Amino acid sequence: MAITLYGAHISPFVRKVRAALAYKGLPYDIVFVAPKMGEQPAEFKANSPLGKIPLLRDGDLYIPDSSVICAWLDRQYPNKPLLPSDNVDAVRALWFEEYAGSVMTTAMGGHLFAEVVLAKLLFNRESLQSDIDKAINEEIPAIFDYLESQIAGDYLLASGFSLADIAVGSISVAMLHSDYHCDAARWPKTATYLKRLFEGEVFAPLIADEKALLASFGG
Ligand SMILES: N[C@@H](CCC(=O)N[C@@H](CS)C(=O)NCC(=O)O)C(=O)O
């Protein structure tokens, strides 16, 4: 069955689905859709009731929401599971998915990336320096403190790469695009962990794609 992903590459939630598809080795097409902007395909409007990206089409089935899409992919394509088989690990991975999609997205996406990159590139306005300062001085340090206390070896869970890393890695790429980096002297485990994710086989090709795309828009 053919898989189609509707969304924009630079959305952390679209990136999360792309990372999940890449990890599972599933081929797909992307149809570019920006929320609240431009012409949107009729099937997107009909099947994304909240108007948000991503939306996935798998055969005849349309699935909105990155978390629901990841749950679908894991059930339908169980090879290379996103959720560990152990219940405690699985529920911890789901917690990190929630943390990445809420607190991390507000700080790294809404306050940092939106102001450092999107303000000029897309919104045609000056950056809000107060949002950038809040992200850099308060929110992201608190996130790094937390991740530093949680990383268990190479990845977030001792059992290995999982949905937790896909979710946390996806939003952390926004930081990379904003040219903000984790201070390895202050958060050594987190800095090493993020570097491992960014250079790993799941995220490196996505990051290269996105960098080329941002450069083509003058970012
Ligand atoms: N819970 C959703 C969040 C998706 C989301 O907020 N996407 C943003 C783009 S990064 C969006 O479409 N925003 C448009 C809007 O809120 O109307 C998911 O995990 O897919």
- pLDDT, average across residues 143-147: 98
Show which of 76, 96, 130 is a domain's final residue.
Answer: 76
Look up residue 83 and give its amino acid: L
Percent of the chain with pLDDT over 90: 95
Please indicate, yes or no, whether residues 63 and 149 belong to a single structural domain of this protein: no
pLDDT, tens digit, 9 for 90 and up, residues 159-176: 999 999 999 999 999 999
Beta bridge partners of 64: 55
Residue 200's CB: how many other CB atoms inside 10 A?
17
Q: How many domains does the chain have?
A: 2
CA of 196 to the centre of ligand 1 (A): 27
Angle, CA of 68, 97 and 7, to the nearest 5°: 50
pLDDT, tens digit, 9 for 90 and up, residues 56-65: 999 999 999 9
Please indicate, yes or no, whether residues 146 and 56 belong to a single structural domain of this protein: no
Q: Which domain holds residue 96?
A: 87-216
Tokens of 41: 């395909």
Tokens of 94: 């789901």
Q: How confident is the model at residue 218 (pLDDT cuts 50, 70, 90)?
A: confident
| More confidently predicted of 39 and 167 | 167
CA of 210 to the centre of ligand 1 (A): 18
* Ligand 1 in reach of 35 Cβ (< 6 A): yes
| Residue at 81 is within a domain | no
Please indicate, yes or no, whether residues 103 and 194 belong to a single structural domain of this protein: yes
Query: Residue 36 has what pLDDT?
Result: 82
* Ligand 1 in reach of 159 Cβ (< 6 A): no
Tell me the pTM. Answer: 0.97
| Residue at 103 is within a domain | yes
Please indicate, yes or no, whether residues 67 and 104 belong to a single structural domain of this protein: no
- Distance between CA atoms of residues 143 and 137, nearest Å: 11
CB contact at 8 A, 195 and 181: no
Query: Residue 219 has what pLDDT?
Result: 65
pLDDT at 132 over 90: yes
Average pLDDT over the chain, rounded to an integer: 97
Please indicate, yes or no, whether residues 98 and 38 belong to a single structural domain of this protein: no
CA of 186 to the centre of ligand 1 (A): 32
Ligand 1: atom nearest CA of 109 is 10
| Residue at 82 is within a domain | no
- pLDDT, average across residues 23-27: 98
CA of 152 to the centre of ligand 1 (A): 29
pLDDT at 10 over 80: yes
pLDDT, tens digit, 9 for 90 and up, residues 65-75: 999 999 999 99
Beta bridge partners of 7: 32
CATH code of the domain covering residue 208: 1.20.1050.10
> Quick one: angle between helices 66-76 and 12-24, nearest 10?
10
CATH code of the domain covering residue 26: 3.40.30.10
Q: At 63, which helix (H) or strand (E)?
A: strand 61-64
- pLDDT, average across residues 106-113: 98
Query: Residue 82 has what pLDDT?
Result: 98
- pLDDT, average across residues 138-167: 97
CB contact at 8 A, 77 and 29: no
